[in-house]
Amino acid sequence: MDVTIAELLLQDGLTTGAIYLLLAIGLLLVFLVTRVIFIPQGDFVAYGALTLASMLAGHVPATLWLLDVCAVASALLQWRSWRGVSWALGPALLITLATLVAVRLGAWVWLQGALAVGITALLAPMVYRLAFRPLRHASLLTLLVVAMAVHFVMVGLGLVLFGPETQRTPAFSNASFTWGEVDISGHSLWVAGCCVVLVAALWWMFHATMLGRALRASASNPMGARLMGIEGDRMAAIAFAMAGGIAALAGLLIAPITPIAYDSGFLIGLKGFIAAVIGGLASYPVAAVAALVVGVVEAFASFWNSAYAAAIVFALLIPALLWLSVRTRSIEEP
Amino acid sequence: MRALALALAAVIAAALLLPAFYVTLMINVGLASLVGVGLVLLTGIGGQTSFGQAAFAGIGAYTTALLTLSFGWSPWLTLPVALALAGVAALLIGVVTMRLSGHYLALATIAWGTSAYVLMGTLPGLGGFNGLVDVPALPGLRGASRMMLVFVGVLVLAALVLVGNLLDSRQGRAIRALATGRLMAESMGVNTGLVSLGIFVIAALFAGLSGWLYAHVQGVVNPSPFNLGAGIEYLFMVIIGGAGSLAGAVFGAGVVLVLRDQLNDWLPRLLGQPGNFEGMVFAAAVILALQNMPQGLVPLLLRRRRLVETRIDVNAPALPSREGAGAALKVSGVTRRFGGLLANDAVSFTAQAGAITALIGPNGAGKSTMFNLIGGLLAPNSGEISLGGVRIDGLPSRRVARAGVARNFQHVRLLAERSVLENVALGAHRRGRAGMISAMLRLDRAEERALLAEASRQVARVGLSELLHSPAGDLALGQQRMVEIARALCLDPVLLLLDEPAAGLRLAEKQQLAGLLRSLRASGITVLLVEHDMDFVMGLADHVVVMEYGRVISAGSPSVVQADPKVMDAYLGGVVA
């Protein structure tokens, strides 16, 4: 392996690593606010990419109808509360209209991309409402099993909605720059840029806005937050929507690099998830660094021996778990 | 015993009478049930989850396929090797996660299930993703034959009996405590990490056995039935059937496999495209089941069994007890901070051997922190705690328990659905030594009789003999406190730590408790109690330590302390000069 290849692999690794970083952040956000380990996040990656692909092909994306069905179902579940119904139906109705118009007119790609992210993001709180909310007092493990089941349902629905073909979406930029000896693709820069902007935006939100503080409060002390008038349910729905949106954006970022099918999301999501576990399911910065490491290790492992790459990436978990074991002293009550 | 004979007869009848297609289906149900029995033990009862059981089955299947095909071994000889490899794999995964809370094991098994599948498909000599073909049949048990169904049926019944035996034992009580009472069990001296590791390995062994059988039933081994998705489906089966009872494993496997066969036919037609949509249906069923009927299908099919009334053998030999009783607890200069809060500030006091010492003080004085420091739930920032001259500060709570410290909890920690007897017997855990294997094979009965006899003696001592077989959750709060004291006494303690033992007790019960504590003192046990009921404390304690804001402000005999102006200030507020 010469230096050029190493630099190329490093660039690839950091690019995918940045995408995993976004996913790790989404996972932590959902976990800390709701205790749900968001296994289906990877499916939201696939849904985001496939929704855009289907819109660019001139179709009304099937995800839109799924969103509407889920919106009606969750409106029915809370029919007693006018606010609940309008929260469930309002955004879904708006985005349905906007998407229908945009597809009919063949609007700009970036607008269609934004709509794809929006549709997918709105789907996530519906999933929370239908699958997780009835079990919000259940044990962490029960929630984990439900998360796994939701993943299965989403993969099955993905096949029904999108069919078995893989899809690519256009790169954010086809430009290419030369820096010293290395070619840097414009898309890689876009990925890095999105990642930095999003992390900065989240940081600002968590530290400077009321909503961000409320989210942090419900994560660190749910009971205390509720006593201060922060609605746990609303925070959970917002966390899911944010994670769903982040995942969809990750889908748009990754689909120009690797073609995506209805079932490709899971393995992508798992990488973000390894990073989150390495961060002890608690630390955003550690998870972020771990995500970049996972991306780079994966790139080099695939070059060395593509068959074993997946196993090697998962092996990163072992030292992380050992470290966590050594650090924990007390027995945690589940 | 009669149920077992009936089940066996049913299996034989099914093997003789069913059409060939159903014989094959039933064999598959049996293979899945073997995995399911392990998962019920691990998930439904032990409160942990594995998504990777299929990969352990894969180890069993590939081991026997490789050894019989490439090395010409007899299938019977490969069984121990297959089991050993599955067990070692589980041991390695389990060791990495045993001290972490439960979801880390589940997450590790996701990684394991994915990696194992990749390795089965790519390691040299395993035939890639096409796998290995022409695996020989078991001698005398051709493929999916009727005899094979009987054989599989017998193995499933054996698995049910073994796990049933395990749950009805000293180790079984520890296993049942894993889901909701880990902290309590550790305080009873149970090494919960080791127990959860044990059941994870046992579950993997059953999965390995299932895989070994699979290879010889099918004659073909390839990676796809052992991937992560298959592992998750085993878990779904158990949840649909009912993860809380052993019958759930068999029901779940039966329902899911029979339904899958049907769904496989008409779901693709309904949805207008080919694909495996059964997984989606079962996943949706799992979500609905967990939301609406967390016990699974079992309660629909079986009446809820009452707790078995274990018979107590009053003539059972006594358990070994500690040599010589009574050792002083010495706390010197102990400081514990929580962030900026100084909960204990250089606290020193001594609880004399064979005396009752009371720790009192207003709310927030740091009494509970001190208890948790002595009991090993917290470690001090500085200072020393010693029992009979041996340092116990900083030890994990199970080691503190082994040193002879027994405790109750301010917020009662009992296994609500288990009987008073079982809850109390958990306290005697460290006085027995039978392991999981001897429990499964019923080699532990003599010791078990002694443990239960001791537990029932302690229940009698706190006056609850009539409630011996009631679920602990049905008792009144005061009675539950007494159950905790009985459990602590089962530990054969040197030092008894009691956190507000009289709270929630009626007057007569308080008098009875005071009598009990006096008799413990007479037998040489050191008692340290935190209590707010001043009449109770002052009438009982030999020595009183008063704390306020993390410091000891007064100590001495009840009359000395009562006359101390600092104590009056602390309780009644300072007098304005």
CA angle B270, B273, B274 (to 5 degrees): 105
Q: Stretch B297-322: mean pLDDT, rounded?
A: 70
Q: Where are the domains of chain B?
A: 2-227, 327-404+493-577, 417-490
CA angle B442, B446, B448 (to 5 degrees): 75
Chain A neighbors of B234, CB-CB under 8 A: none
A161 to chain B nearest CA, in Å?
A: 10
Nearest to B286 among A145, A157, A314 (CB): A145
Q: Residues B144-156, buried b or exposed e (16+ Cβ, 10 A)?
A: bbbebbbbbbebb
Contact A117, A48 (CB under 8 A): yes
- pLDDT tens per residue, range B68-117: 998 888 889 999 999 999 999 999 988 888 777 778 888 889 888 988 99
Q: Which backbone phi and psi does B440 adopt, to 5 degrees?
A: -65, -35
Whether the per-residue pLDDT at A253 is higher than 90: the answer is no
How sure is the predictor about B307, in pLDDT bands with cuts at 50, 70 and 90?
low
pLDDT at A129: 86
Whether the per-residue pLDDT at B394 is higher than 80: the answer is yes
Task: Give the Cα separation of B360 and B364 in Å (integer).
Answer: 11
- Substitution target in B92, B99, B381 with the highest count of A β-carbons within 10 Å is B99
Domain count, chain A: 1
B51–chain A Cβ distance below 8 A for any pair:
yes
Largest CA distance in chain A: 66
Whether the per-residue pLDDT at B575 is higher than 70: the answer is no
Nearest to A145 among B115, B290, B377 (CB): B290
Contact B558, B356 (CB under 8 A): no
- pLDDT tens per residue, range A38-55: 999 999 999 999 998 888
Residues A308, B280: C-beta atoms closer than 8 Å: no
In a domain, A44, yes or no: yes
Q: Which backbone phi and psi does B120 adopt, to 5 degrees?
A: -60, -35
Select the more confidently predicted residue: B494 or B312. B494
Nearest to B195 by CA among B213, B181, B215: B181
Average model confidence (pLDDT) across chain B:
87
Least confident of A127-141, A299-313, B371-385: A299-313
What residues make up the domain containing A285? 3-326
In a domain, A331, yes or no: no
Pick the CATH number of B327-404+493-577 from 3.40.190.10, 3.40.50.300, 3.60.15.10, 3.40.50.10800: 3.40.50.300
- pLDDT tens per residue, range A102-128: 777 777 878 888 888 888 998 999 899
Task: Give DSSP secondary structure letters for B111-139.
Answer: HHHHHHHHHHHHSTTTTGGG-B--PPPBT
Chain A residue with Cα closest to B372: A330
What's the ipTM?
Answer: 0.86
In a domain, A109, yes or no: yes
Chain A neighbors of B180, CB-CB under 8 A: 334
A105 to chain B nearest CA, in Å?
A: 30
B107–chain A Cβ distance below 8 A for any pair:
yes
pLDDT at B19: 87
Q: Which backbone phi and psi does B357 adopt, to 5 degrees?
A: -110, 135
B96–chain A Cβ distance below 8 A for any pair:
yes
How sure is the predictor about B303, in pLDDT bands with cuts at 50, 70 and 90?
low
How sure is the predictor about A237, in pLDDT bands with cuts at 50, 70 and 90?
confident
B269–chain A Cβ distance below 8 A for any pair:
no
pLDDT at A206: 82
Q: Which residue has the tokens 């032990």?
A: B46
Whether the per-residue pLDDT at A1 is higher than 70: the answer is no
- pLDDT tens per residue, range B327-374: 889 999 899 998 888 888 889 999 988 899 999 888 888 888 999 999
In a domain, A333, yes or no: no
In a domain, A147, yes or no: yes
Chain B residue with Cα closest to A276: B107
